[in-house]
Amino acid sequence: MKEEISIDEFDGKKFKIRFVEEEDNRKAVITHYLHNYHNGVKKHYEKEAIEYLNQIVRYKNEEEELNYVSDVALQQLLFEVENVPFPTPENYTFKFIDLFAGIGGFRLALQNLGGKCVFTSEWDEYAKKTYRANFGETPFGDITKESTKSFIPDNFNVLCGGFPCQPFSNAGLKKGFEDTRGTLFFDVADIINRKKENGNPIDIIFLENVKGLKNHDKGKTLKTIVKTLNTLGYEVKTETLNSRNFGIPQNRERIFIVAWLKNKNKDFNFPLGINEKEEIIYKKEDLINIKTTKVRDILIKNPEEKYTISDKLYAGHIRRRKEHKEKGNGFGFSSVNENSQYTSTISARYYKDGSEILIEQKDLNPRKLTPREAANLQGYPSKYIIPVSDNQAYKQFGNSVSVPVIQAVFNEIKKQLL
């Protein structure tokens, strides 16, 4: 059959006018349904998915005078979502949901260790585009809305995500997860509580956040999170880990929260990686294989000239660094060479001027990282697709987790707790 049908058909203006409501999850429902087509999870999405599939088939037939049948359309869409760089492992051993998913750093790590993702959500449309290009799935949208939460299936083992850090206005440590209302952590706690109450408690909660969470709101924010998880029936451990100790040449500290059901009667120890002298900081049998790296390990050959910063921008960087130094605050642009042990932390603002990480060049102004190098700096594999503009890519990798750190921690979770 020459005619083709695609998930992108749902983005057509005429289709939207005819079918789409204000809060629309059609692409998410269809792709989640197709991704779970060969297992029991598909039933959770089946009713709505078939309805949406029939809508698009009817629309295509009427608009383009075709004679599509649903079975043919389904097979074409099934191929589309499965023919991606990072498909679900065939012989998966556990199931997880991916909240505040970004571009899939958690998903990459957990799939590498035998996990199957059965639900994902992310509100940013550009991140959704990158996520779908690599995993074949469009994430659901705003996790605070019931129309999104209602699609979370039962019977999965792990909830993971890098939730945004927000202050709690009522951090009284008295009402359990009620203390977290008005924050995005409340929605994490709400999901945990719902699954507990319907008899399908989640085995493991695995969260990541900025290092500042530790002292956020004078420490009350983290205390409330831990207390909330305790109230919901979980043992909790937290640890601040640095990407540079896990085979990534980047000085990036993040706090990790691991919680497991109290009735498991187990304990958990974080892997702390290795330092620059290749000394194991936390030694455990079968510690995931980590090697020390240098900046040269993430650089590409012959980057385009457009990444070399202009004379005007370079002069501005030098001026600002001098001003910061005179004020005694020590801030300014950060340049490294290929033999440096690590870079500073890449952030979502990197697209603005690249000041936090500039690569020195012989007889030239320094240059920014390319998007591919930004991906390398966060541990994303070379076949990872970057389908967005440079600016969006910098934002996405700056907001992402370092994949090897997630994988090292979950490797220990899997051995110790699952």
Q: Residue 60: in which H helix or E strand, if any?
A: helix 42-64
- Three-state SS sequence of 361-394: ECCEEEECCCHHHHHHHCCCCCCCCCCCCHHHHH
Identify any residues that bridge with 361 across adjacent strands, giving them in sequence order: 364
What whole-number distance in Å separates Cα of residue 333 and Cα of residue 62? Answer: 58
What whole-number distance in Å separates Cα of residue 201 and Cα of residue 6? Answer: 36
Judging by beta carbons within 10 Å of its beta carbon (0-12, 13-18, 19+), is residue 385 exposed, middle or buried?
A: middle
Handedness of CA 61, 67, 71, 73 (dihedral sign): negative
Q: How far from each other are the two terminal CA atoms of the chain, in whole angstroms?
A: 46
User: Helices (DSSP H) in 150-251: which residue ranges?
Assistant: 184-197, 220-231
Establish whether 117 is a catalytic residue. no
Query: Strand, coil or helix: what is 256?
Result: strand
What whole-number distance in Å separates Cα of residue 342 and Cα of residue 244? Answer: 7
Backbone phi and psi for residue 125, each to the nearest 5 degrees, phi listed first: -65, -35
Marked catalytic residue, from 165, 192, 248, 309: 165
Judging by beta carbons within 10 Å of its beta carbon (0-12, 13-18, 19+), is residue 380 exposed, middle or buried?
A: buried
Identify any residues that bridge with 254 across adjacent strands, giving them in sequence order: 210, 241
Query: Strand, coil or helix: what is 209?
Result: strand
Q: List CB contacts of 77: < 8 A, sequence separation 6 or more.
A: 5, 6, 7, 30, 34, 53
Identify the DSSP state of 164: P
Query: What distance lies between CA 267 and its chain's CA centroid?
Result: 26
Amino acid identity of residue 352, one-letter, is K
Catalytic residues: 165
